[in-house]
Amino acid sequence: MAAGHEVVLCGRRLEPLELAAAQLDCELVQGDVVADPEGIVARAGPLDHLINNAGVFQHQGWADWTADTFEALFRVHAVAPALLSQAFARQRGPGADRSIVNIGSTLSVRPVVGAGPYATAKAAMAGLTRSLAVELAPRSIRANCILPGVVRTEMTDAPRDGDDPEARLRALADLHLVGRLGQPADIGSAVLWLVGAPWVTGAVIPVDGGLSLS
């Protein structure tokens, strides 16, 4: 239970799911959103809201780009959210307000070197959000997208090309107008607001401490 919502968490690895479940009172579905989007939604049960948060980052400069990297990142950030949303929409017809929140990235509007395939896939996710808003409005489903700045998580704390993550993160913090990196709760509060905002659909909203303006 989080802020009055019953939550179902999904991921491929059981251990982090169980750790999260120990902190939040929530249900778990272990699975891969790329391999089995329909099965995951079916196992999650009837849903009022879908948060497409699964993501992977791959650091790759232009000279190393491959079709495989682009395809892998598109699958997790665009294709899987599209098919999860489709399965979610099919769960029931028009009625009470439901919504989809896609977790995009500031990098889709403010790219940096080494993030080309990721930034491109996240831009596709923002485009998908607008299509979902148009397609699913007749089913009483809204769709919105948050563009987070740099938030401290497993993703940002992992070394990139053997760098020192602490030094990289200190430099990145300075690029945020509010003078600090994000915390997961900064994104969580925006998700909660969108879920409860019945007149907001098709919005792509930076939640980035001002990173996109710096």
Please give the residue ranges that form the binding site for ligand NAP (CB under 6 A): 10-13, 16, 32-34, 53-56, 76, 103, 105, 148, 150-151, 153-156
Is residue 188 within 8 A of residue 132, CB to CB? The reply is: no
> Among residues 91 and 156, whose Cβ is nearest to ligand NAP?
156
108 is catalytic: no
Name the minimum Å distance from CB 158 to ligand NAP. 8
Tokens of 208: 């980035």
Which of 118, 121, 149, 151 is labelled catalytic?
A: 118
> Among residues 122 and 142, whose Cβ is nearest to ligand NAP?
122
Return the axis-axis angle of helices 80-90 and 37-44, rounded to nearest 10°.
Answer: 40
Name the minimum Å distance from CB 9 to ligand NAP. 8
Name the minimum Å distance from CB 93 to ligand NAP. 28
User: Which residues, other chains included, contact 130 with Cβ-Cβ below 8 Å and sequence gap of 6+?
Assistant: 143, 202, 204
SS3 110: coil
Query: Side chain identity at 129, as an amino acid letter?
Result: T
Tokens of 21: 């479940």
> Among residues 16 and 198, whose Cβ is nearest to ligand NAP?
16
Q: Which helix (H) or strand (E) holds 84?
A: helix 80-90
> Among residues 53 and 91, whose Cβ is nearest to ligand NAP?
53
Name the minimum Å distance from CB 195 to ligand NAP. 16
Decide: residue 154, CB within 10 A, 0-12 exposed, 13-18 middle, 19+ buried: exposed
Report, as residue numbers or ranges, the catalytic residues. 118
